[in-house]
Amino acid sequence: MQEIHHYDIVVIGSGPAGEKAAMQASKLKKQVALIEKSPHLGGASLHTGTIPSKSLRETVMHLTLLRQQTHGINISFKDNLTTKELMYRKEIVIQDQENSLRRNLEKNHITVLEGIPRFQSATMLEITPADGSEKYEITADYTIIATGSSPRKPKWAPFDNECVFDSDTILDIKHLPKKVTIIGAGVIGCEYASIFSKIGIRVNLIARDRNVLPFVDRQIAENLMYQMRNQRVTLRLGEIVEDIEKINADEIHVKLESQKILPCSTVLVAAGRFANSGGLNLDKVGVELGNNGLIKTNENFQTDQPNIYAVGDVIGFPGLASTSMSQARIAVLHAFGQLESEKMPKDLPLGIWTIPAVSMVGKTEEELTDACIPYEIGIAHFKEISRAHIMGEEEGILKLLFDPETLKILGIHIIGPHASELIHLGHSVMFYEGTIQYFMNTVFNSPTLDEAYRIAAFNGMNRLDHESL
């Protein structure tokens, strides 16, 4: 009989959450095993989700900027760009990132096990190797589930990966379509709508709600909708899809409950995701699941079984790589009794890679209003910033929400170029309970986009009619 190997902690899944959990545990000098069912490390984030889509976005952004008659230089490109040409950078990035991940795991003495795990008890896992060899068992004091999520595939959508795609397969499209219908106006739907429209593809974006991105500050979401419309995205808000009919190889009809028929050549269904929690045998160890297979956890990401944790997409919103990694770190520190020594951020930044990008941290106006918390607003428009003029990107807003008495920051919301980078300065000030006076007193390099913080802070103070101004 094969010897049962024991680990201090086992991590299931090698995406951002799994990688962070394994690395954090190794830094605590623990014996760590990382289980991955695929021969490729990095999870959906690296191979089908975050990294590929952002690589495509970056390519599209560069092409768009070069196509503009910026700085008086007229540069033209061929009109028949192929998908392969647009995806060239993606393959390089994925390979480099996976190689880097393997090196880091090896350097930190993390054991990588390839196979499919199933819980036999709260401390024992059975591994079915991917190569078909004999099953074996391992034990661990703690287990962290970081198996991610997969696109939800409604029964009414005839997925064929030729005309009808989900968010994991859309980047495998062979030819760039002339017209795309995107079903779902969440993060993924809005990101792809922005990307496709920027390269001249006509886009229908269907949303069940009357707004896109319902968790985003309304002013920011409305600004995004305005800019998407300027990019010739047709927003179909408050609409429900009834059927998708393939007419021929080049034409599909998307039928709505309102009796509208939307002809197009390609459909992307971005109607949410479900957790990859099936097959783990979780019911055997008493781990409770919610809707869409999401694993229920407490504030420390513990499941109903105290020595089993779950982090990342498998537990639901926000399901972003950055927040997943933070959750993983908290889970590991809590498991080994190190959490109290760490000051963890209460609010985590969220980044949405639309064009323009959206990023936020803290409370929205709507949340503060519902909670009856008084606040004031400070706004900077990117058209006021010389750096934005130089870049040729003047559309955008940086919005500070702050306490009118203490001046402490309650929320930061940005739409515009490099929003996902800009948010970090504001988040740092929030984390250390700073006030908007920090931005008024700080000397910013000029010209930089960071100057928006100073403009927004002064704008907010002016609204208070402060005696010092």
CATH topology match: 5-49+88-150+274-341 vs 356-464: no
pLDDT of residue 102: 87
* Single pTM value for the model: 0.86
Mean pLDDT of the region 291-318: 91
- pLDDT tens digits for range 407-425: 999 999 999 989 999 999 9
| pLDDT computed for residue 49 by the predictor | 66
Looking at per-residue pLDDT, the higher value among 333 and 56 belongs to 333
- Domain 5-49+88-150+274-341 top-level CATH class: alpha beta
Note the pLDDT of residue 174: 80
What are 358-373's pLDDT values in tens digits?
Answer: 999 999 999 999 999 9
Mean local confidence (pLDDT), 139-145:
95
> Does the pLDDT at position 80 exceed 70?
no
CATH of domain 356-464: 3.30.390.30
Taking 80 as the threshold, does the pLDDT of residue 63 lie above it? no
3-44: per-residue pLDDT in tens? 788 999 999 998 889 999 999 999 999 999 999 888 788 777
Rounded-to-integer distance, Cα 331 and Cα 333, Å = 6
Contacts with 403 (C-beta within 8 Å, 6 or more apart), sequence order: 374, 375, 376, 410
Boundaries of every domain in the chain: 5-49+88-150+274-341, 164-271, 356-464
- As assigned by CATH, the class of the 164-271 domain is alpha beta
The confidence score (pLDDT) of residue 1 equals 44
Say which range, 81-90, 115-124, 287-296, has the weakest mean pLDDT. Answer: 81-90
Q: What is the dihedral of CA 177, 179, 184, 189, to 10 degrees?
A: 50
Mean pLDDT across 429-454: 92
Residue 70 confidence (pLDDT): 52
